[in-house]
């Protein structure tokens, strides 16, 4: 296979032109090309007057590839060997029971997919409903304010990322190619082949819902079993090992019991009651740093022009941004989970508390861009060294946000936030909030040292992206579920301090985002498969 880098098109130019360009670059005729595919696509917008779309393309040709590459001697033409991901060879240790996975977010689903495909017939327990039930519960919450604490934006099939922008980029480097495998599986489940080569791939809420249903079907066909409305609410530990799982909900709501010697805890960062249970059961865990802040909305058109200039703004997809700054007291302030053409969502999961996040559809055609502007907080900020102290810190902020917004999302113009006064009318930026909004003075939400850090950060970002610090940018709060406030310790074989329990994904502190959580799910599936035989011990 030959890989060609630095093939370029102008915005608006037809991608079919690439074919001609690659033939010219290889000095071959079209009939010499057996096949070709785009493997990377990015936008080079460093020079606004000369924006380029840059491609990497893999080509198979009829002639001897090494001869061509040698002959052309260009740094942009290389011979490559396509490496692919390989799952673990099965181990020999017998399992008495089918492996159980708690949580069907990306970590649980990808762990379940791998185990099911390898013949382990996993049981997947999910406290929330299926994606359709969940859509109903979430839209009811956004319309009426009536929250289902077990089925919401955080809980239910697909986990926290179901109502999201579905961004799939990750900073995790993985020579074993788990990240690539995650994208391939998403694409096979209907997320679209573009995610395999776009520099910043995203799925979008509308498409993701169908992808999740396809993934469930695939896991079931391979021998996996899903139980919705089934919250892990108790664990039997005998002789220091896991022996069984108590589930609150169904078997016609009388609850269920699963004998178990292998439980994957892929419960996400919002399962506060389950963290409490695990703490009481003696699992080693500690509080960890995460970040809190406010979401900020601007017109997407402003971001588009700032990133791409007037000439090309209309020819390119909705632009993202990533901004960082530093406050005078040395705290990092940064944009997070940016949603081009998206919506701010009320992402609460506990009654009497309000947390926000962002989502978008595949087309990212909403009028606003939004992102969280956040500041890292560490266990020293939480007041005591208790492992669950970060949760208490989050809850305080979310309660304050709920009071300020009267159950709706509290919002304020950035200019009024700076002047410490409640907004009384909107400017040109019209907030797009799923779940309704209400004017409030958000200066009463976060501790003042964080307010100051945010203001300093937003001002600095205004120097990098014109208009970012505009008076009428709309803030909303509170952004408190950025990552897990806890890390559950696990050893080299991926087990917690209680053998048989495998902490996994974002909630356990081993991932941040959809792709890295899915990759961690695969890593845990590998650890289970490498150790245990897929054949159950006959009793
Ligand atoms: P989760 O996805 O949180 O899944 C955990 C699952 O476990 C949940 O379904 C929960 O119901 C279930 N559960 C919890 N406790 C129990 C129990 N006791 N028994 C049974 N089940 C239980 N990340 C990105 O990379 N890109 C984005 O664009 C993006 N946008 C986001 C938008 C929103 C609105 C939100 C809320 C998050 C977003 N994220 C995004 C973050 C991303 O969703 C998470 O990083 C990711 O989902 C973590 O995966 P996970 O599987 O570890 O946990």
Quick: pLDDT tens for 348-367.
999 999 999 999 999 999 99
Cβ(502)–Cβ(115) below 8 Å: no
* Residue 376 or 31, more confident: 376
Q: Give the Å distance between the CA of 454 and the centre of ligand 1.
A: 26
CATH of the domain spanning 93-285+486-536: 3.50.50.60
Q: How far apart are CA 79 and CA 278, in angstroms?
A: 51
Cβ(156)–Cβ(137) below 8 Å: yes
Eight-state DSSP code of residue 294: E
Question: Residue 203 to residues 404, 410, 419, 429: CA-CA distances in angstroms?
Answer: 33, 28, 39, 26
pTM for the full predicted model: 0.96
Q: Tell me: pLDDT of 539 over 60.
A: no
Q: Residues 395-414: what's their mean pLDDT?
A: 98
Percentage of residues of the chain with pLDDT beyond 70: 98
Predicted confidence (pLDDT) per residue in 258-280, tens digit: 999 999 999 999 999 999 999 99
Q: Residues 489-496: what's their mean pLDDT?
A: 97
Question: Which is the closest atom of ligand 1 to the Cα of 154?
Answer: 36
* Residue of minimum CA distance from atom 25 in ligand 1: 513
pLDDT tier at 117, thresholds 50, 70, 90: very high
323 lines ligand 1 (CB under 6 A): no
Tokens coding 189: 């489940």
| Mutation to probe ligand 1, out of 105, 112, 149, 269 (largest number of atoms < 8 A from CB) | 105
- CATH for the 2-79 domain, from 3.40.50.300, 3.40.710.10, 3.40.50.2300, 3.30.70.2700: 3.30.70.2700
What is the reported pLDDT for 71? Answer: 66
Question: Which is the closest atom of ligand 1 to the Cα of 339?
Answer: 28
**Average pLDDT of the residues of the chain:** 94
Q: Give the Å distance between the CA of 108 and the centre of ligand 1.
A: 10
Cβ(387)–Cβ(279) below 8 Å: yes
Angle CA(449)–CA(452)–CA(455) in degrees, nearest 5?
150
Question: Residue 86 to residues 31, 81, 114, 526: CA-CA distances in angstroms?
Answer: 34, 15, 11, 10
Q: Give the Å distance between the CA of 435 and the centre of ligand 1.
A: 19
Point out the least confidently predicted range of 82-96, 121-135, 471-485.
82-96
473 lines ligand 1 (CB under 6 A): no
128 lines ligand 1 (CB under 6 A): yes
Eight-state DSSP code of residue 316: S
**Where along the chain do the CATH 3.30.70.2700 domains lie?**
2-79
Question: Which is the closest atom of ligand 1 to the Cα of 158?
Answer: 9
Predicted confidence (pLDDT) per residue in 409-458, tens digit: 999 999 999 999 999 999 999 999 999 999 999 999 999 999 999 999 99
**Where along the chain do the CATH 3.50.50.60 domains lie?**
93-285+486-536
Q: Tell me: pLDDT of 11 over 90.
A: yes
161 lines ligand 1 (CB under 6 A): yes
Q: Residues 16-22: what's their mean pLDDT?
A: 88
């Amino acid at each position: 296979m030959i890989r060609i880098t630095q093939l370029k098109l102008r915005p608006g130019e037809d991608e079919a032109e690439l074919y001609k360009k690659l033939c010219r670059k290889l000095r071959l005729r079209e009939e010499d090309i057996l096949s070709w595919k785009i493997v990377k696509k990015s936008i080079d917008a460093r020079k606004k007057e000369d924006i380029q779309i840059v491609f990497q393309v893999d080509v198979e040709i009829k002639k001897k590839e090494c001869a061509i590459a040698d002959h052309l001697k260009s740094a942009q033409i290389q011979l490559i060997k396509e490496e692919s991901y390989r799952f673990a060879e099965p181990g020999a240790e017998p399992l008495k029971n089918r492996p159980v996975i708690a949580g069907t977010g990306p970590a649980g689903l990808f762990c379940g997919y791998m185990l099911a495909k390898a013949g382990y017939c996993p049981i997947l327990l999910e406290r929330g409903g299926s994606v359709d039930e969940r859509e109903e519960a979430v839209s009811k919450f956004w319309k009426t304010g009536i929250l289902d604490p077990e089925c919401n934006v955080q809980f239910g099939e697909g986990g926290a990322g179901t109502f999201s922008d579905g961004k799939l980029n990750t900073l995790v480097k993985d020579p074993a190619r788990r990240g690539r495998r995650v994208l391939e599986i998403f694409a096979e489940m209907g997320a679209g082949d573009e995610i395999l080569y776009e520099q910043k791939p995203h799925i979008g809420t509308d498409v993701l819902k169908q992808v999740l249903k396809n993934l469930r079907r695939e896991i079931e066909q391979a021998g996996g079993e899903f139980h919705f409305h089934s919250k892990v609410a108790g664990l039997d530990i005998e002789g220091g090992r896991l022996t069984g799982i108590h589930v609150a909900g169904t078997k016609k709501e009388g609850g269920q019991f699963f004998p178990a010697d292998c439980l994957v805890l892929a419960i996400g960062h919002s399962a506060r009651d389950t963290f409490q249970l695990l703490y009481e059961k003696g699992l080693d865990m500690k509080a960890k740093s995460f970040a809190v802040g406010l979401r900020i909305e601007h017109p997407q058109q402003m971001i588009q022009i700032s990133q791409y200039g007037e000439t090309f703004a209309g020819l390119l997809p909705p632009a993202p941004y990533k901004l960082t700054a530093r406050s005078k007291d040395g705290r990092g302030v940064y944009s997070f989970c940016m949603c081009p053409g998206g919506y701010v969502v009320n992402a609460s999961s506990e009654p009497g508390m309000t947390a926000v996040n962002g989502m978008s559809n595949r087309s990212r055609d909403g009028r606003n861009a939004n992102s969280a502007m956040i500041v890292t907080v560490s266990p020293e900020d939480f007041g005591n060294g208790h492992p669950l102290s970060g949760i208490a810190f989050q809850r305080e902020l979310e309660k304050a946000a709920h009071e300020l917004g009267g159950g709706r999302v509290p919002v304020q113009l950035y200019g009024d936030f700076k002047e410490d006064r409640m907004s009384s009318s909107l400017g040109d930026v019209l907030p797009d909030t799923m779940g309704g909004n209400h004017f409030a003075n958000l200066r009463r939400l976060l501790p003042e040292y964080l307010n100051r850090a945010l203001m300093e950060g937003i001002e600095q970002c205004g120097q990098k992206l014109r208009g970012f610090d505009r008076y009428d940018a709309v803030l909303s709060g509170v952004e408190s579920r950025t990552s897990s406030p806890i890390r559950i310790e696990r050893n080299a074989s991926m087990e917690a301090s209680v053998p048989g329990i495998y902490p996994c994904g974002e909630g356990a502190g081993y991932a941040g985002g959809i792709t890295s959580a899915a990759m961690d799910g695969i890593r845990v599936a590998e650890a289970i498969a490498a150790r245990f035989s897929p054949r159950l011990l006959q009793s």
